[in-house]
Amino acid sequence: MTDIKIVLRDFSKRFNEDLEKYFSFPEGAEKRVIDAMHYSLTIGGKRLRPFLLCECANLFGVEYQTALPAAVSLEMLHTYSLIHDDLPAMDNDDLRRGQPTCHKKFDEATAILAGDGLLTYAFEVLSNALEIKPAQRLALVQLLSSAAGSFGGMVAGQTLDLYARSTGDKSSDEAIISRLEEMKTGRLLRYACEAGAVLGQANEQSRRILVDYSRKVGQAFQIADDILDQEGNQELVGKTLHKDDNQNKFTFVKYYGTDKARKLAIKLIDEAIEQISVFGEKSENLKSLARYIIERNY
């Protein structure tokens, strides 16, 4: 398999450079919100979602430059969600990617506005992407808004994360955790893969395989994240750990225990790798990425 760390590092480098083209800095006081958007977007991040989107598009011969605006808008939307999740009224986090969170670096009002600005800009970038055919742009706006929204999307997931409480019944709790993680992180990962299929005008079967891949990788990713929260090295991970302990949160790791959760993650990744193999050589990076997700230590 490819050395995915190097591939990801090279991708990030290129992507980060391209990201700058989407920014300009006005002279007025409104520069503050642009600075904050740019800060949060560029303080790190593994660029997993953009990478996933570009790799899935690549399965169908779509070039990086064509997929780029969709990847950029996805990363903007993802970053908005981090900024808002970190707010004092939400997870109240001071550290993100080893750096002060947006409201710590700037202030709370600016962080709220920076999140709003990134969410809005995501749709602006996507809908104006001349590299992408108009019908595909519209399809992507539909998919992205649904994945990010409050009717079964990311906003609904974050709401569950904040307000869902144990029912006392083991199987009901398991269903809630699944739904929470599917909505909070799963939907955007699924979008990344589906966007690749849309850009590549993939047939229904290919699209279903990618959706399934995203679901399995997403679930494994979440489990790995929760294990890192329990066992990770705070300096490497770059965010406050053991949050899940403090806040009475629902996680698979708490529910199953670390060992069982880790086994589940490995099983999911094995299945995902097998399924994605139908795309042949072009799926090498997606296979390595799946493996990497449960092996990373940050």
Q: Name the site residues for a copy of itself (rule: CB under 8 A).
A: 24, 26, 28-30, 32-34, 37, 80, 84, 87, 89-90, 107-110, 112-117, 119-121, 123-124, 127-128, 134-135, 137-138, 141-142, 144-146, 148-153, 155-160, 162-165, 176, 179, 183
Between CA 126 and CA 64 the distance in angstroms is: 15
- Cβ nearer to a copy of itself, comparing 153 with 238: 153
Nearest approach, Cβ of 84 to a copy of itself (angstroms)? 6
Nearest approach, Cβ of 137 to a copy of itself (angstroms)? 6
In order of 43, 218, 242, 257, the CA distances from 265 in angstroms are 28, 10, 20, 12
Between CA 78 and CA 85 the distance in angstroms is: 11
- Cβ nearer to a copy of itself, comparing 78 with 137: 137
- Cβ nearer to a copy of itself, comparing 65 with 150: 150
Nearest approach, Cβ of 107 to a copy of itself (angstroms)? 7
Tokens 């506005």 belong to 113
Between CA 143 and CA 141 the distance in angstroms is: 6
Nearest approach, Cβ of 90 to a copy of itself (angstroms)? 5
Nearest approach, Cβ of 276 to a copy of itself (angstroms)? 29
- Cβ nearer to a copy of itself, comparing 179 with 282: 179
Q: What is the DSSP string of 235-265?
A: HHH-S---HHHHTT---HHHHH-HHHHHHHH
Nearest approach, Cβ of 41 to a copy of itself (angstroms)? 12
In order of 7, 20, 55, 191, 210, the CA distances from 65 in angstroms are 17, 14, 12, 18, 21
Between CA 252 and CA 250 the distance in angstroms is: 7
